[in-house]
Amino acid sequence: MRYFDYLSHEKKQAIFYSLPNAFQRDSEKELLAYALGALLYMPVTREGIAEEIISAKHTGLISMVLCLEDAIGDHEIHRAEEKLYHHLQALHLAVKEKKMDAAKLPLIFVRVRSVEQMEKIMMMAGEVFYLITGFVFPKFSQHNGEAYFQQLKKLNHKLQIHLYGMPILEAPEIIYKECRLETLGAIKKVLHQYKDLVLNIRIGATDFSGLFGIRRSYDLRIYDIAVIRDCIGDIVNFFCRAEEGYVVSGPVWEYFSKADRVLKPQLRQSPFEDTYGAKGIKIRAQMLDKYLDGLIHEVLLDKANGLTGKTIIHPSHIIPVQALQVVSHEEYTDACSILSNNNGELGVVKSQYANKMNEIKPHIHWAKKIILKSRIYGVFHERKNFTNLLT
């Protein structure tokens, strides 16, 4: 699969200085961890999931989660497990009958309720288990984490496959201040034992908010909620250090339709007019109707805080989130300059854009991440940006 492959060759050439590279579920873990982009959650009981994947209904869909946990009522568990099997079986038949290429299937993860459910699902899946890239572990903590990864390791050995685990940090002891640092330290010890199986760390901001009776409005970003912002800062501190090698993703944005605004829209008009002319005003208005300006602002804050990709709950979020992952021409040239001068001869070099100084040692880890992301999401031409990918 490849990001933005739905674009024509001509449009890609016009937008990208460097095109995104192809990757697949068995690509190296370092690359795959950054490649999830907009991770779409769907309740597994939803009808027509397989048909939507086969028909490529959701433009740009690269990764998704079939949820058996919070999105499913307690009385629906058995039916949900059966629906999961039926979805996977339908995809398997489509691949077998050459209605779709297995290499173009999105990365599919299953969010389970328990360790026991993991084994049950894999036994039910039978020959179609190859369609799954991994599991999402909810309410992850030092108390249940070892069991989740032990079960994952057991399944990988038994079935001779390589499935990944993605822990969601959303348990109360992570956000409660009196025990947060001790808990994060204990979780880190668990993850270190199974580092080769940890693809990505997710943040459950909705569950965190619920513990305090908080729900942010469409006018606010998750970083405006002080108690959540502080917790995200500590998670980044523990897991995004250069020497750790973990990838942490941005928390879910939950709004997708118009409501009455209190604050001003947060998308400037000029970038849209510069890209699309008079038509750009209409495109911007459509994005404001869906509150995508809030999503865009939050993704920019995610990136500024060291997070990569985002959990989403609506297909309209796919393209904006993924467009914002593309590396800018300025970022790319700065990163290349930093890496090419990493020989000890210079401590600092002037940016090609003549607007900053690039310090080699402090920015080396940033530069490596930028080059890795450029392989996945591509690099914009100079004077191109995310607005060029919105239609």
Number of alpha carbons in the 13 Å side-chain half-sphere of residue 56: 13
Q: How far apart are CA 231 and CA 100, in angstroms?
A: 42
Q: Is the pLDDT of residue 189 over 70?
A: yes
% of the chain beyond a pLDDT of 70: 97
Q: Are 60 and 324 in contact (CB under 8 A)?
A: no
Residue 262: pLDDT band (50, 70, 90) is low
Mapped to the 3 state alphabet, what secondary structure does 268-293 carry? CCHHHHHHHCCHHHHHHHHHHHCCHH
Q: Is the pLDDT of residue 266 over 90?
A: no
Q: Is the pLDDT of residue 378 over 90?
A: yes
Domain boundaries, the chain: 36-264+290-325, 330-389
Quickly tell me which residue has 């449009």 as its tokens. Answer: 11
Quickly tell me which residue has 């709004």 as its tokens. Answer: 255
Q: How far apart are CA 151 and CA 50, in angstroms?
A: 27
Q: pLDDT for 85-131, tens place per residue?
A: 999 999 999 999 999 888 889 999 999 999 999 989 888 888 888 89
Angle at 240 between CA 239 and CA 242, to 5 degrees: 120
Whole-number pLDDT of residue 263 = 66
Helices (H), 35-114: 49-54, 77-96
Whole-number pLDDT of residue 257 = 67
Q: Quick one: which of 354, 320, 273, 328 has its CA closest to 40?
A: 320
Q: How far apart are CA 66 and CA 49, in angstroms?
A: 9
Angle at 158 between CA 152 and CA 163, to 5 degrees: 40
Q: Are 251 and 299 in contact (CB under 8 A)?
A: no
Q: How far apart are CA 283 and CA 53, in angstroms?
A: 26
Q: Quick one: which of 26, 36, 65 has its CA closest to 163?
A: 26
Residue 269: pLDDT band (50, 70, 90) is confident
- Report the CATH number of the 36-264+290-325 domain: 3.20.20.60
Q: Give the H or E element holding residue 321.
A: helix 318-323
Q: How far apart are CA 303 and CA 373, in angstroms?
A: 12
The structure's pTM equals: 0.93
Q: Are 378 and 4 in contact (CB under 8 A)?
A: yes
Q: pLDDT for 320-352, tens place per residue?
A: 999 999 999 999 999 999 999 988 777 888 888
| pLDDT, the chain, mean | 92
Whole-number pLDDT of residue 338 = 95
Q: pLDDT for 43-84, tens place per residue?
A: 999 999 999 999 999 999 999 999 999 888 888 999 999 999
Q: How far apart are CA 234 and CA 240, in angstroms?
A: 10
Q: Are 325 and 60 in contact (CB under 8 A)?
A: no
State how far Cα 46 lies from the chain centre: 21
Q: Are 149 and 193 in contact (CB under 8 A)?
A: yes
The pair of structure tokens assigned to 76 is: 């629906």
The conformation of residue 258, written as its DSSP 8-state character, comes to -
State how far Cα 381 lies from the chain centre: 24
Q: Give the H or E element holding residue 10.
A: helix 9-15
Q: pLDDT for 224-258, tens place per residue?
A: 999 999 999 999 999 999 888 899 999 999 877 66
Q: Are 121 and 84 in contact (CB under 8 A)?
A: yes
Per this entry, what is the length of the chain?
Answer: 391
* SS3 label, residue 39: strand
Find the mean pLDDT for residues 348-369: 90
